[in-house]
């Protein structure tokens, strides 16, 4: 199945329409991502998740995209991908010097960079904040000049410390973080920060030092954006499986906790790298848990 790269309306959350604006898609071998899981688990996963989260060759579809929450008077972005023309040769090769029509895809849903009010970041990894800036001549400037760019303070401090010792983080700081800080566009908040009755942060540390979920919905939550707590819905079926993308051991404990918290509820779970429709529901199953994509009941 060919993966569409068009922007999509995927859900309604309170006053907001939720769109997925894609940047790139990467096909990943199940055996690379989860080397030690039994073959019968892969068969079970394909029965539950194919063709939405698998391609025609049985590879996992890993999406890099931005979520856009759009209401009559607010536009909020959650995670902003990798960005164009950024040297990322020391990391994932597919991220190096991208040249995608991301801003055109944003325009397709009626949003210009100047329209954005808030940019939220689940964590400060390379593929979650890249479009915060764009190249202007020989320098980098804010892509969303009217937006407040919100980072969890502990995550920000850990990132800035890593930039003192790691060349890749230093480059991200220079071409992405420093320009928006210099422009006075950054707000630092606590990991449990409450924006208003419709949106708050929820600590989900592990994959990064102060990773957070973003909770949407007035009163009882109706949606949770889990960033990289899970990189693919297959992890719902095998939450304890080891992956090179997992992060520290704390990330596994957090993943299990998040799965238990939202299992068998009406809360839509959206992953930062889940392919469209990007979200669904965690349900109990005889073998543990499974994931039901949006539109499948």
pLDDT (mean) for 63-71? 97
How far lies 259's CA from each of 167, 201, 288, 293, in Å?
A: 34, 17, 10, 15
Q: In the prediction, which pLDDT does 168 show?
A: 94
Cβ neighbours around 113 below 10 Å, total: 18
Q: In the prediction, which pLDDT does 2 show?
A: 61
Q: Is the peptide bond before 119 cis (omega within 30 degrees of 0)?
A: no
Largest CA distance in the chain: 57
| Lowest-confidence pick of 37-41, 190-194, 267-271 | 37-41
Q: In the prediction, which pLDDT does 144 show?
A: 98
User: Which residues partner with 213 through β-bridges?
Assistant: 202
User: Which residues partner with 13 through β-bridges?
Assistant: 16
pTM of the model: 0.96
pLDDT (mean) for 215-244? 92
Would you tell me which CATH number, out of the four given (3.60.15.10, 3.10.180.10, 3.40.50.10860, 2.30.29.30), belongs to the domain 8-293?
A: 3.60.15.10
pLDDT (mean) for 249-258? 94
Report the mean per-residue pLDDT for the chain.
94
Of residues 216, 204, 226, the one with CA closest to residue 154 = 204
Q: In the prediction, which pLDDT does 236 show?
A: 95
Q: In the prediction, which pLDDT does 186 show?
A: 98
CA angle 201, 296, 17 (to 5 degrees): 45
180 backbone φψ class: left, alpha, beta (φ>0; ψ -120 to 50): alpha
Pairing state of beta strands 133-136 and 118-120? unpaired
DSSP class per residue in 1-15 = -PPP-S-EEEEEETT
pLDDT (mean) for 168-191? 98
For residue 215, the SS3 value is strand
Phi and psi at residue 139, to the nearest 5°: -125, -170
Residue 1 has pLDDT above 50, yes or no: no
Q: In the prediction, which pLDDT does 297 show?
A: 53
Q: How far apart are CA 37 and CA 44, in angstroms?
A: 11
Report pLDDT digits (tens) over 91-148. Answer: 789 999 999 999 999 999 999 999 999 999 999 999 999 999 999 999 999 999 999 9
Residue 194 has pLDDT above 70, yes or no: yes
Residue 242 has pLDDT above 80, yes or no: yes
Please give the helix or strand (H or E) that residue 186 lies within, else none: strand 186-189
């Amino acid at each position: 199945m060919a993966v569409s790269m068009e922007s999509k309306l995927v859900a309604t959350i309170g006053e907001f329409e939720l769109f997925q604006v894609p940047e790139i898609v990467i096909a990943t071998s199940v055996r690379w991502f989860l080397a030690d899981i039994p073959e019968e688990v892969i068969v079970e996963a394909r029965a539950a998740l194919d063709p939405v989260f698998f391609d025609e060759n049985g590879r996992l579809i890993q999406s890099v995209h931005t979520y856009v929450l759009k209401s009559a008077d607010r536009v909020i972005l959650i995670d902003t991908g990798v960005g164009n023309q950024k040297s990322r040769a020391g990391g994932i090769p597919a991220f190096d010097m991208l040249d995608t029509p991301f801003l055109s895809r944003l325009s397709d849903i009626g949003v210009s960079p100047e329209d954005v009010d808030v940019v939220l970041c689940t964590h400060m990894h390379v593929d979650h904040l890249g479009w915060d800036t764009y190249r202007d001549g020989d320098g980098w400037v804010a892509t969303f000049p009217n937006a407040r760019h919100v980072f969890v303070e502990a995550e920000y401090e850990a990132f800035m410390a890593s930039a003192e010792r790691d060349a890749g983080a230093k480059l991200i700081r220079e071409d992405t973080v420093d320009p928006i800080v210099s422009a006075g566009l950054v707000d630092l908040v606590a990991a449990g920060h409450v924006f208003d009755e419709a949106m708050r942060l929820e600590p989900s540390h592990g994959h990064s030092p102060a990773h957070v979920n973003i909770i949407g919905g007035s009163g009882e939550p109706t949606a949770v954006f889990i960033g990289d707590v899970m990189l693919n819905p297959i992890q719902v079926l095998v939450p304890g499986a080891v992956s090179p993308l997992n992060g520290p051991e704390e990330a596994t404990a957090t993943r299990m906790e998040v799965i238990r918290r939202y299992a068998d509820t009406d809360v839509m779970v959206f992953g930062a790298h889940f392919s469209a429709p990007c979200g669904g529901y965690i349900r109990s199953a005889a073998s543990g848990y499974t994931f039901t994509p949006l539109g499948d009941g």
